[in-house]
Amino acid sequence: MDRSKIFEQALSDWMKGKGPESDVVISTRIRLARNVRNHPFPMLATNKQSKDVLDQVVKVLHNDELKTVSGFDLFILDQLSELQKRVLVEKHLISPNLANESRNGAVMINDNESVSIMVNEEDHLRIQCLCPGFQIREAWDLANQIDDIFESQVDYAFEEKHGFLTSCPTNVGTGIRASVMMHLPALVLTQQMNRILQAINQVGLAVRGLYGEGSEAIGNMFQVSNQITLGQSEEEIIDNLHGVAKQIIEHERAARQKLLGESKMRVADRVNRSYGILSHASIMDSKEAAQRLSDVRLGVDLGLLHNVSPHVLNELMVMTQPGFLQQYAGSILSADDRDIRRAELIRDKITSS
């Protein structure tokens, strides 16, 4: 693996493929929380105890069975710069918690960056698998395969009554968090999003922002995931999320058709204004960039814009974040300088796509 590619390229290789339902669903993620038996959770562990966990996980890295799934590279968090850690967060390869607060924290990342295995985060082990578009069952199959390999090498903290034991009680049981990242601009524009959110909460699912729990839903991007991990099997959790996500996709598409039928000129004007601003602006903050890019993506999906590639829009979602902007510039930038760089980067990418 070319280690520098992870920090220099905004678009992970797995994002370059066009997945199912990709007009609405950007990506699918499965994350499994696991802990090592007879070891304190990371927040309570001594340096020696957390180092022992890391050593156990590193042994699995060299396991021949794991190599048949994919090649992995190990990144020790203490050996990375703050900017590099920020880039990994912005690419959804590590959590903000691992970047900021871990002791003996590390991450194993596979060749195309579709799998990241976080060590000594909130739990000893967080296995995360990402797929483009709407591929919940495919992501689960991959995560389950990797989990079986680790379970054969590491003694998991597991109890017959409660299942997998985790640092946070909300993850006890299966330890699974399944989520889909969805672009829902039409539901927002037609003012149906609040009703959808209420319905989602009533069936045991949660809606979060771009970076998960506690983050804001900017650019009309919403992460829909399960809340319940205890009392249901992994298959039941995945089937529930799959069914609800399918309904949201249908509602979003219906809302888009309603916009085209009732307000096509207004939508086209909104899309073209955002495209014009992105193509010519000299200063752009991250929140405005996310909203303008959302408008342009909607225009592409509705067939109102034909000269912008969806891959460029995916890339800009990451490249316009503060950490990647500074990594790309090769220096620490002030907020004003980031806004200038962001506008310049968007202009170049949008007009040359």
- In one-letter notation, the amino acid at residue 207 is V
Computed on alpha carbons and rounded to an integer, the radius of gyration of the chain in Å comes to 21
Integer Cα distance of 339 and 258 in angstroms = 35
- Does 34 carry a binding-site annotation? no
- Does 208 carry a binding-site annotation? yes
- Does 338 carry a binding-site annotation? no
- Does 328 carry a binding-site annotation? no
Is the distance from CB of 240 to CB of 229 less than 8 angstroms? no
- Does 195 carry a binding-site annotation? no
C-alpha distances (whole Å) from 23 to each of 104, 132, 236 are 40, 11, 26
Integer Cα distance of 114 and 14 in angstroms = 6
- Does 330 carry a binding-site annotation? no
- Does 276 carry a binding-site annotation? no
- Does 86 carry a binding-site annotation? no
- Does 113 carry a binding-site annotation? no
- Does 209 carry a binding-site annotation? yes
- Does 92 carry a binding-site annotation? yes
- Does 343 carry a binding-site annotation? no
- Does 265 carry a binding-site annotation? no
- Does 177 carry a binding-site annotation? yes
- Does 27 carry a binding-site annotation? yes
Structure tokens at 279: 């193509």
Please tell me what DSSP assigns to residue 212.
B
Q: Could you tell me whether strands 115-119 and 176-183 are parallel, antiparallel, or unpaired per DSSP bridges?
A: unpaired
Query: Strands (DSSP E) along the chain, which ranges?
Result: 25-34, 72-76, 106-110, 115-119, 125-132, 158-159, 163-164, 176-183, 205-208, 221-226
- Does 181 carry a binding-site annotation? yes
Sheet of strand 176-183, all strands in order from the earlier edge strand to the far edge: 72-76, 106-110, 115-119, 125-132, 25-34, 176-183, 221-226, 205-208
Is the distance from CB of 47 to CB of 39 less than 8 angstroms? no
Q: Binding site for ATP, residues?
A: 27-31, 92, 126, 177-181, 208-213
Q: Binding site, residues?
A: 27-31, 92, 126, 177-181, 208-213
